[in-house]
Structure 1
Amino acid sequence: MLLEMKDVSVNYGKVSAVRDISLSVPDGAIVTIIGGNGAGKTTSLRAMSGMVPLRKGEIHFDGQRIDGLSSDKIVARGIAHVPEGRRIFPDMTVEENLRTGAFLRRDHDKVARDLDGVFDRFPRLRERRRQLAKTMSGGEQQMLAIGRALMSAPRLLLMDEPSMGLAPVIVEEIARIIEDINAQGVPVVLVEQNAELALELASHAYVLETGNMALEGPADELHDNEHVRAAYLGI
């Protein structure tokens, strides 16, 4: 397994956010975590990327234990995080935002190549490379956030609510982008409020409810699960 969480619990102060959750991410896969608001989905991603400390449990990446490492060291290991709300730098240009994604890299000759690769993947970003990020549409900003993460040359991409607040036609484009990134060899952990979309994209799924792991299994099987259909698919 590329990434494994083992019996992980996280608290915010005295409040328990996730309790004893375990999950695995195979190399090459898209794995999704679905659940309602406050279920612990974002906390799980933040734990993987070193943004919150664990109360208990372990996280291993490529056979190495990474819980307890700082976020920058986890990025250096190959885990990139596209956060909820995009968190771009609004007063920096598109190109400046993208280059921040590569700030830990030392292979400077390849950074320029990867920047061209991001512009090839997102032609609109190339067109707006000198434009301030805050002047872009929501969909363009989401593409920028994904592109910035790709600039770290990740071995695993964590994505938190990439479709949030976007028009349906843009959501479809983001879905194609996720599939394309995965097809080019980058595994993805996808947290997504749009459960239908998440289960369509993923090969394996986990369902969190109030901080507990309620269900897990192949995504197509969970799509047909009566509880999932009633609670998350509106069926």
Structure 2
Amino acid sequence: MLLEMRDVSVNYGKVSAMRNITLSVPEGGIVTIIGGNGAGKTTCLRAISGLARLSSGEIWFQGERIDTLSPDRIVGRGIAHVPEGRRIFKDMTVEENLRTGAFLRRDAEAVEQDLEGVFKRFPRLRERRTQRAQTMSGGEQQMLAIGRALMAKPKLLLMDEPSMGLAPVIVEEIARIIEDINAQGVPVVLVEQNAELALELADHAYVLETGNMALEGPASELHDNEHVRAAYLGV
């Protein structure tokens, strides 16, 4: 198993954000975490990437425990995080933003090759490589955030609400990008409030409700689950 969370709990002060969560991510494929606002989805990704400290439990990646590591060391192990709200550096250019994704890498020639690969994947970023990130549309900024994460050459990509605030046609494009990234061998953990999109893309799904694990199973089965359809798919 590529990644395992074992009975993980996270508290923010006296508030419990996530309780005894156990989940796993296999090599390859897409795993999604769905749930309503405040369910603990973002906290789950922040715990994996070291941005939220665990109150209890363990996180293992490629057979090694990582929950004791700093965020930069977790990135160095191969986990890249596309955060909610994109969090790009708006005063920096597109190319400068992309290069920050490779700040831990020492393989300069490969970094240049990967930068060219990002520009091939996202032609609009090539067109705007010298443009300040704050001047781009929401969809372009999301592509930039994804491209920046890919510059870390991840073994696992965490994506938090990549469709948030985007027009439907751009959401479809982002979905194709996620599928393409995964098809090229990068496993993805996808957090999405757009449950329909998430369950269409994913192989396996987890449902969080108020910090607890409510359901888990193959995404196709959860898509047909009566509770999921009523609570998250509007059926």
User: Structure 2 length normalisation: TM-score?
Assistant: 1.00
- Tell me what 1:149 maps to: 149
Q: CA deviation at 1:68?
A: 1.4
- 2:50 paired with 1:50: yes
Please give the alpha-carbon distance, in whole angstroms, between the structure 2 residues aligned to 1:15 and 1:42. 15
- Tell me what 1:179 maps to: 179
- Tell me what 2:160 maps to: 160
Q: CA deviation at 1:7?
A: 0.1
Q: CA deviation at 1:5?
A: 0.1
- Tell me what 2:8 maps to: 8
- Tell me what 1:192 maps to: 192
Consecutive aligned runs of 4 or more in structure 1 exceeding 4 Å deviation = none
Please give the alpha-carbon distance, in whole angstroms, between the structure 2 residues aligned to 1:41 and 1:183. 24
Please give the alpha-carbon distance, in whole angstroms, between the structure 1 residues aligned to 2:81 and 2:59. 16
Q: CA deviation at 1:29?
A: 1.4
Please give the alpha-carbon distance, in whole angstroms, between the structure 1 residues aligned to 2:201 and 2:181. 12
- 2:73 paired with 1:73: yes
Please give the alpha-carbon distance, in whole angstroms, between the structure 1 residues aligned to 2:95 and 2:47. 29
Please give the alpha-carbon distance, in whole angstroms, between the structure 2 residues aligned to 1:153 and 1:28. 15
- CA-to-partner distance for each residue in 1:104-156, whole Å, 9 max, x for gaps? 00111100000000000000000000000000000000000000000000000
Please give the alpha-carbon distance, in whole angstroms, between the structure 1 residues aligned to 2:68 and 2:83. 20
- Tell me what 2:215 maps to: 215
RMSD over aligned Cα atoms: 0.3
- Tell me what 1:20 maps to: 20
**Gap regions ≥5 residues in structure 1:** none
Please give the alpha-carbon distance, in whole angstroms, between the structure 1 residues aligned to 2:69 and 2:14. 23
- 2:77 paired with 1:60: no
Specify the SS of the correspondent of 1:146. helix
Please give the alpha-carbon distance, in whole angstroms, between the structure 2 residues aligned to 1:22 and 1:98. 33
Please give the alpha-carbon distance, in whole angstroms, between the structure 1 residues aligned to 2:172 and 2:109. 33
The residue type equivalent to 1:195 in the other structure is: A
Please give the alpha-carbon distance, in whole angstroms, between the structure 1 residues aligned to 2:29 and 2:3. 11
Aligned residue runs from structure 1 range 27-42, under 5 A = 27-42=27-42
Specify the SS of the correspondent of 1:105. coil
% identical aligned pairs: 84
**Gap regions ≥5 residues in structure 2:** none
User: Structure 1 length normalisation: TM-score?
Assistant: 1.00
- CA-to-partner distance for each residue in 1:181-209, whole Å, 9 max, x for gaps? 00000000000010000000000000000
Specify the SS of the correspondent of 1:16. strand
Please give the alpha-carbon distance, in whole angstroms, between the structure 1 residues aligned to 2:190 and 2:178. 9
Specify the SS of the correspondent of 1:140. helix
Specify the SS of the correspondent of 1:165. coil
Specify the SS of the correspondent of 1:171. helix
Please give the alpha-carbon distance, in whole angstroms, between the structure 2 residues aligned to 1:4 and 1:225. 25
How many aligned positions are there? 235
- Tell me what 1:107 maps to: 107
Q: CA deviation at 1:85?
A: 0.1
Q: CA deviation at 1:36?
A: 0.2
Please give the alpha-carbon distance, in whole angstroms, between the structure 2 residues aligned to 1:162 and 1:80. 14
Q: CA deviation at 1:51?
A: 0.3
The residue type equivalent to 1:152 in the other structure is: A
